[in-house]
Amino acid sequence: MITGRFTSVLVANRGEIAARVLRTVKALGLRGLLVAHEVDAGAPAFALADDVRWISGPTPVAAFLDAAQIVVAARDMGAEAIHPGYGFLSENPDFARSVAAAGITFIGPDPETIELMGDKVRARAFVEALGFPVAPSAIEDEDPATFVERARALGAPILIKPSAGGGGKGMRIVRDLAALEAEIDRARSEALRYFGDGRLFVERYIERPRHIEVQVLGDRHGGVLHLHERECSLQRRFQKVVEEAPSPALDDAARARICEVAAGIARSAAYVGAGTVEFVYGAGAFYFLEMNTRLQVEHPVTEAITGLDLVAEQIRIAQGEPLAFRQAEVVRNGHAIELRICAEDAARDFSPTTGRVLRLSPPPHARFDAGVSEGAGVTAAFDSMIGKLVVHGLDRTDALAKAKEALAGLVVFGLRTNIGFLRRLMADPAVTSGAIHTGLIAETPGLTADPAIDAALADRLVALAAPHIPDLQRERRRVPALHAAMGAWRN
């Protein structure tokens, strides 16, 4: 148990990350608090929380972006600290300031660090000034009038990115410079829609790149270290689908270089808490991409190979405790893979799907961080991810075998998910060999196409699913009104 000053922690988030944080909060003997929107009623996090307060807004997402409402709820519940999870307000410096102003500890970096490293343009300039590798680029803020001209001078292909964004929103690859201005307009429009900030920058795009990131931890006593790297190259529309650790692309020398650069960047920023330094990697070279000043969706793979609980480390650091281990003590053990389970139709360009979860059965011998419960409705109100499946093996071959086994044992009835797609992806020769890159899924249309199902198999699948459909079973047992009116009469 923690013996410091925290006795209660509020989770300002939802879904699987809310449940995951609360599990550690409770394991540390702390009081777990939760804010929630009514559309999530009955989610797994509810069973773990000691107190829940409802929040509201014009939309469910707006409720979780209402910093003032969340701070009021935290004060009313007696929260001593707030864990923001990821997304929503997790990288909002004004929220971190409002939390501190209320006399509550924000479990994350200082607002000034979020402002520096959370803004892609400022972070890139900071990293470049320190002499760390960055890709050739053109930044709009430096001279808006010449932005298009400077972008064109980089040569094709180039990648347009929002300065304030993340999650792939507003990012566009331009291979034909004649379309550059039109693509900049589209990227700006999307950035304004998602982030309220239309500032852009462009980078030289590396064809078939890998996306490799490094988990870092820093305390308030000057201690900064890394927890090894993760490979996040399996993506669709610039959003991660599968993550693994360690990267199959790196030998020991390359691994040491990229991890030390990440730790050096965090050290230079006087980073406090858990963060991730991301790189684009190709042809043996790597370039700084961005830093995420929060916990990542894919943090469980790092936990699996290090044996550490990153949420517990975040809480200890937020209490002012020094790091409890040295770099040499962070030992990498085996190989881990995380698969994001999403309510989406891979055959229709990964479009989100909705429905009720009629049956949810996690596989044995695998970690499944669920964001929904059996019987819950999945709507279009939030992101499509409904859970994460994590496996750990002796090596990559063993981890891949366990991933396939876990996917075969995971049952989700009631709505279309990406489970079938993930099964095909794990069996793909490029994935098996480790020859992956961020464009692999887009270049392999066969992965997303649903296999043909003949009528006989379709009938069998319907028969198997029918007993798990409550509405169908209620209708089967329903007594027609005319018969019910007969009472106990018998012939």
Q: What is the pLDDT of residues 82-115, one digit of tens each?
A: 999 999 999 999 999 999 999 999 999 999 999 9
The Cα 122–Cα 126 span in angstroms is 6
CA distance 176 to 369: 42
Residue 403 has pLDDT above 50, yes or no: yes
Please give the Cα distance from 353 to 277 (Å, whole number): 32
Share of the chain above pLDDT 90, in %: 80
Average pLDDT, the chain: 93
Q: What is the pLDDT of residue 379?
A: 94
Confidence of residue 339 (pLDDT cuts 50, 70, 90): very high
What CA–CA distance (Å, rounded) separates 391 from 404? Answer: 10
pLDDT for 488 equals 65
Do 119 and 46 contact (CB within 8 A), yes or no?
no
Provide the pLDDT confidence category of residue 196 given band limits of 50, 70 and 90.
Answer: confident
Inter-residue contact 247 to 266 (CB < 8 Å): no
pTM score: 0.87
Region of 352 on the Ramachandran plot (φ > 0 left; ψ -120 to 50 alpha; else beta):
beta
Check: CB of residue 193 under 8 Å from CB of residue 223.
Answer: no
Mean pLDDT of 250-268: 97
Query: Does the pLDDT value for residue 431 go beyond 70?
Result: yes
User: What is the per-residue pLDDT for 3?
Assistant: 41
Asked if residue 435 has pLDDT above 50, the reply is yes
Q: Which of 112, 76, 78 is nearest to 96 (CA)?
A: 112
Distance between CA atoms of residues 139 and 146, nearest Å: 10
pLDDT range class, residue 40, cuts 50, 70, 90: very high
What pLDDT, on the 0 to 100 scale, is given for residue 155?
93
Q: Collapsing DSSP states into helix, strand and coil, what is residue 84?
A: coil
286 contacts 280 by C-beta, under 8 angstroms: yes
List the chain domain ranges: 8-107, 136-204, 210-447
pLDDT in tens, 342-364: 999 999 999 999 999 999 999 99
pLDDT band at 121 (very low <50, low <70, confident <90, very high): confident
Q: What is the rounded distance in angstroms from the CA atom of residue 422 to the CA atom of residue 351?
A: 15
Q: What is the pLDDT of residue 1?
A: 35
Q: Which CATH architecture has domain 136-204?
A: 2-Layer Sandwich (3.30)
pLDDT score recorded for residue 390: 98
Q: Rounded mean pLDDT of 365-386?
A: 95
Place of tokens 């002499």: 131
CATH architecture of 8-107: 3-Layer(aba) Sandwich (3.40)
In terms of C-beta density within 10 A (0-12 exposed, 13-18 middle, 19 or more buried), how is residue 356 classed? middle
Helices and strands (H and E) in the chain: how many: 19, 23
Largest CA distance in the chain: 94
Helix (H) or strand (E) holding 407: helix 396-409
User: pLDDT category, 189, cuts 50, 70, 90?
Assistant: very high
Confidence check: pLDDT of 75 > 60: yes
Q: How far apart are CA 107 and CA 310, in angstroms?
A: 12
For 444, the token pair is: 């392999």
pLDDT greater than 80 at residue 266: yes
> For 53-63, what is each residue's pLDDT tens digit?
999 999 999 99
Q: Among the listed ranges 246-260, 325-339, 475-489, which one has the minimum average pLDDT value?
A: 475-489
Give the three-state DSSP class for 281: strand
Locate all alpha helices (DSSP H) within 78-200, ordered by sequence: 93-101, 111-118, 120-129, 147-153, 180-195
Percent pLDDT > 70 in the chain is 95
Radius of gyration of the chain (CA): 24
> Does pLDDT of 452 surpass 90?
no
* Per-residue confidence (pLDDT) for residue 392, from 0 to 100: 98
* Architecture of the domain defined by 210-447: 2-Layer Sandwich (3.30)
Q: Count of alpha carbons within 13 Å of 188, Cβ hemisphere only? A: 13
